[in-house]
Structures are given as C-alpha cells and as structure tokens.
Amino acid sequence: MTRLGQKVALITGSSRGIGAAIAKRFAAEGALVALHGRDTTALSAVRAKIEESGGRVMHVTGDVTQFNDIEAMRGQIEETFGPIDILVANAGGNPTRPNLALEETPELGFRAALEGNLTATFLTLKSVLPSMKRRRTGSIITMSSAAARRPQPGSPLPYATAKAGIELLTQHVAAEVGPFAIRVNCIAPESILTERNQQLIPEAQKGQMIEAHPLKRLGTPEDIAEAALFLGSENASWISGVILDVAGGAVLAR
C-alpha cells in the first residue's frame, strides 16, 4: 500500500535538488504531485521522470514572494487535481555570500533573504491554509536549515535569520491550526549534496565537512525526501510543531 495515495501535494521549489527529490518520493507513494519552479526546462525534466515511473504530476510556475502568483498556482492545482492536502514550502535560497560581518552585509541582500525564504513561506501558507481549515485536514512541511539551529561565525547571517523565522512561524501556525486537524512541521537540513553543491564544493572541503558529522557522510536530497514523506504521511499523525534536524548528527555534536 502507498502512504500518500491520492493526496494532492504541492512542493514549491521542486525543479531540482531537495524539492525534486521530495516530489519524486511523494509520487512513488501515490500522491498527485504539483511541481513548482521558475525554470520550465528543469520542471519538465522532473515531470518526465515522475511520469516515466507511472506517477501523476503537473507543474506550475510563479513567484512565491507574490501572493497573487501563489493564488493563481493554487487555482490551477485545484482545477486539475483538487484541493491541496500536503504542502511542502521548500522554495528559498541564500542570496548572500558567507563570512560577511553584519556591517558588511548588504541591505538588499538581507531583504532578499527574508523575502525569498520567510516571506515566501508565509505567503504560501496564507494561500493554502483556508482550504485546509474548511476541510479540517492537511499537512504542511516548511524548510529551515542547520544554519538557523547553530549560530556561528561565517554562516550567512541573512539566510540564517530568515530560516530561524521560518521555524518560529512553523510552531506558531502549528499551535493555531491544530484544532483544525492540520499538522505543521519543519525540516532543518545540513550539508546536502544537491547537484549544485556537488559541483561547487571542492573534494578536499567535502572531506573536511564529512569529518564534522558524527555519521561521517554528507546528506543527500533523498535523505530529506524520506523525512518529508514521514512528516507528510499518517505515520506522523500525532506530530506537529516539530523542527526536525536532518543533519547527520552535526547539530547535536555542536
């Protein structure tokens, strides 16, 4: 039996990396998957992979920092698949380089990090929650980062701040919508070898990073996908308001 049979799942930021891995895993478990991104070529490639495996999938495009765009995407999903049962608010990113002191951090970079991560998550939840509340069902998964869990010099301050805000937002909303039987949880990954990181991180640095993790390896997008599947499924039916570190022990070790 599949764990997400016929559940409608929207995964924002799913044209590649963690989001794409979650989308593929959800589709394999029977979900009707709505991909989201801005790169239509990348979205089409993920969609093709899911369809080759027999999954049901569509894709939408839009700017998740603009509420009207999100509302339009939600309308398209509801028209094709029906109301959203599972939301993975994964879209985000780090627009500033690390190792900047606060006074060296550009204002525009700070604002961009908040907009692209915290505001985007807030607006996506704002769009999806009313239908979930009317139906008194739903599972929401937000995406933080180990950068928000262990403040340290050298980490990108704007990104870490935005992700810390997502964690508080997650727990606030979990308390607010619990009476509607809606669960809201957050995943905080650390050192995930996405396609981009595989290319950008030198092999010597990868070795140093591996040594910083008690489990002596770096994470994969599939590691995060398995955590998302658990939180999105009925296996986690009595879990809400949790910040789940998927970090190879690195957060614990510090």
96, two tokens? 């500033």
Q: How many whole angstroms separate alpha carbon 216 and alpha carbon 219?
A: 10
Backbone angles phi, psi at 90, to 5 degrees: -100, -20
Backbone angles phi, psi at 210, to 5 degrees: -60, -40
30, two tokens? 């029977």
Other CB atoms closer than 10 Å to residue 48's CB: what's the count? 11
Q: How many whole angstroms separate alpha carbon 57 and alpha carbon 77?
A: 10
Residue type, 63: D
215, two tokens? 């489990």
Cβ neighbours of residue 163 closer than 8 Å, sequence gap 6 or more: 92, 117, 118, 144, 145, 147, 148, 188
Q: Is 159 a catalytic residue?
A: yes
Q: Are 189 and 143 in contact (CB under 8 A)?
A: yes
Cβ neighbours of residue 206 closer than 8 Å, sequence gap 6 or more: 193, 218
Indicate which residue of 26, 81, 110, 159 is catalytic. 159
13, two tokens? 């930021």
Which of the residues are catalytic?
A: 159
